[in-house]
A = this chain, B = another copy of it.
């Protein structure tokens, strides 16, 4: 391996150096429109997500500030917008609940460092080890947990709860304290949000007339834009309403209230903080964040890579660079008092639909967030909590994936286990523990798959070679399947051949004699075939043989445990029979020589000779009493 060219490396880490070369006005206008549209979604979302994460609204904007700039320089996927997301806000809340923003900022910088490390060390492939059913179960459960946590906001209740179960327990306990005004407002907000979302879907009939066509197109565009900016519209309208009904004593609505105005002061994240009367050292903070220090960056990587893949549309994706860019966003954001940030699927879709061309769109979004922070924060006072809750609930509901249930039922019922298991664990315990449980269930499934390796046992009696058992060893065998393979092969010597009788197609695959894909079955008696057809006649026609031929053409890995199993298998078989190893690769040969006493190797030609010899010897041993040939 040669070292990468430094210039190419810089170009790879900062893709802006490449796409900026061809950056022209047309591209810039596309990006500008997309940037502004995304900002209209981002700003109300970020204020809402800040409250989801348990912080004052300005923290959401702090988290939206830097991501666009950093990702603009380092990102590869034009659509992605980095900022607060529902999932990461919920996770942040879980890990920092009852503390202060310093913990969230620490979580953010550590997440950034972990992601950078994962990117540089090319550990992105680890993400592939979390199966889609687990990711789906996790996301759905997170959406339901988030929606549940906002019901109290919708109803104007006030209590603190962390997990799904405690939220619902709290809801039942406090349901009597429901506030009418807040409930009505949130109901109205939800209806407006869903209605405006539906606007996007309206399609006008195509009009041939040029002038009408133009106005239709404009109306279509307007409706689409209204749909995209629905969060901003609802939040502004609700704030105006709240301002109008405002009374100095006892506001009729629960409002966001006084917040710190203006831009965040850039500062190095602090590693010791005071919450109430308790002083936390760096060690205390780390131990409080605990598994979050790994779960938060991991979840960030999983969802970011998933979004990037969705928008890559078949083009090759540089997942490593995506992870590095995400890490850089978190790292830099932490210096502006941000909690952990990530790409958002909703905003990426908005960006895509607005005609984004390059990651430069992030710059324009960032500038608007900057202006909002500098000029608009005083007005946040009047944003009703109910409106924010409505924004969150309407944003996360589409994250619940029910389609996959139907798909899995039709294609892979076994995969319902990790999906439902993860989902149940996430709701019953907490979403981060549920994710870990899901990975555990994946591992158990993997064990199950590996305990049933493809094993092609057949009894060959094709008139060309003397009758013998043949096993086609394909691929890789390891400890999980060792005992099963041994016992299946041992059972060939069992006169009742129970395993073969009971075998299903799944455990006893059939490869046609010769294994050619052209389907030349020869005259082989294929045991599995008879079993698969559900008749037991095959078992009656199976004749026994003392010769077992292991075809190793496509065998490329055996682990030690499997080798020990093979050793026992050969020992069992050697009592009155023999095992031949046909076409083994040098590596497999070396392994077998080290484990077995004098294994018999052969190629296809030698096999023919050996087989004929073996059968003659066997017949003589039976018939002619020890007379040598």
Question: What are the interface flags for A515-551 relative to B under an 8 Å C-beta threshold, 1 for contact and 0 otherwise?
Answer: 1111100000000000000000000000000000001
The yes or no answer to A184 lying at the interface (CB within 8 A) is no
- CB-defined contacts of A583 to chain B, threshold 8 Å: 517, 519
CA–CA, A372 and B442, complex, Å: 53
Stretch at the interface among A191-199, A228-236, A340-348, A403-411: A403-411
Stretch at the interface among A84-92, A244-252, A561-569: A561-569
Contact assessment for B314 and A572 in the assembled complex, using a CB-CB cutoff below 8 Å: yes
Question: What are the interface flags for A568-587 relative to B under an 8 Å C-beta threshold, 1 for contact and 0 otherwise?
Answer: 10011001000000110100
Contact assessment for B449 and A447 in the assembled complex, using a CB-CB cutoff below 8 Å: no
Which residue in chain B gives the minimum CB-CB distance to A447?
A: B129
- CB-defined contacts of A20 to chain B, threshold 8 Å: none
Contact assessment for A517 and B561 in the assembled complex, using a CB-CB cutoff below 8 Å: no
Q: Identify which of residues 580-629 in chain A touch chain B, using a CB-to-CB cut-off of 8 Å.
A: 582-583, 585, 590-591, 594-595, 603-605
Question: What are the interface flags for A435-450 relative to B under an 8 Å C-beta threshold, 1 for contact and 0 otherwise?
Answer: 0000000110111011
Which residue in chain B gives the minimum CB-CB distance to A585?
A: B505
Contact assessment for B449 and A412 in the assembled complex, using a CB-CB cutoff below 8 Å: no
Contact assessment for A129 and B451 in the assembled complex, using a CB-CB cutoff below 8 Å: yes
- CB-defined contacts of A415 to chain B, threshold 8 Å: 559-561
Contact assessment for B454 and A475 in the assembled complex, using a CB-CB cutoff below 8 Å: yes
- CB-defined contacts of A511 to chain B, threshold 8 Å: 553-554
User: Could you tell me the distance in whole angstroms from the C-beta of A589 to the nearest C-beta in chain B?
Assistant: 11
CA–CA, A452 and B505, complex, Å: 24
CA–CA, A478 and B484, complex, Å: 20
- CB-defined contacts of A554 to chain B, threshold 8 Å: 454, 456, 474, 509-511, 515
- CB-defined contacts of A309 to chain B, threshold 8 Å: 568
The yes or no answer to A133 lying at the interface (CB within 8 A) is yes
Contact assessment for A556 and B509 in the assembled complex, using a CB-CB cutoff below 8 Å: yes
Contact assessment for B412 and A480 in the assembled complex, using a CB-CB cutoff below 8 Å: no
Contact assessment for B556 and A506 in the assembled complex, using a CB-CB cutoff below 8 Å: yes
Question: What are the interface flags for A458-495 relative to B under an 8 Å C-beta threshold, 1 for contact and 0 otherwise?
Answer: 00000000000010101110111011100100100010
User: Could you tell me the distance in whole angstroms from the C-beta of A404 to the nearest C-beta in chain B?
Assistant: 8
Contact assessment for A479 and B558 in the assembled complex, using a CB-CB cutoff below 8 Å: no
Which residue in chain B gives the minimum CB-CB distance to A407?
A: B594
Which residue in chain B gives the minimum CB-CB distance to A502?
A: B1
CA–CA, A553 and B407, complex, Å: 24
CA–CA, A472 and B309, complex, Å: 26
Question: Of B313, B510, B553, B582, which is within 8 A of A512 by CB?
Answer: B553
Q: Can you spell out 20 A-B residue pairs with CB atoms less than 8 angstroms apart?
A: A125-B451, A129-B447, A129-B451, A129-B479, A130-B479, A133-B560, A404-B560, A408-B560, A410-B594, A412-B559, A414-B559, A415-B559, A415-B560, A443-B447, A454-B475, A456-B554, A505-B556, A517-B553, A517-B582, A518-B604
Residues of A within 8 A of B (CB): 125, 128-133, 309, 313-314, 316, 404, 407-408, 410-412, 414-415, 442-443, 445-447, 449-454, 456, 470, 472, 474-476, 478-480, 482-484, 487, 490, 494, 505-506, 509-512, 514-519, 551, 553-554, 556-561, 563-564, 568, 571-572, 575, 582-583, 585, 590-591, 594-595, 603-605
Beyond A128-B482, A412-B563, 5 additional contacts (C-beta under 8 Å) are A314-B568, A472-B517, A474-B554, A514-B518, A519-B605
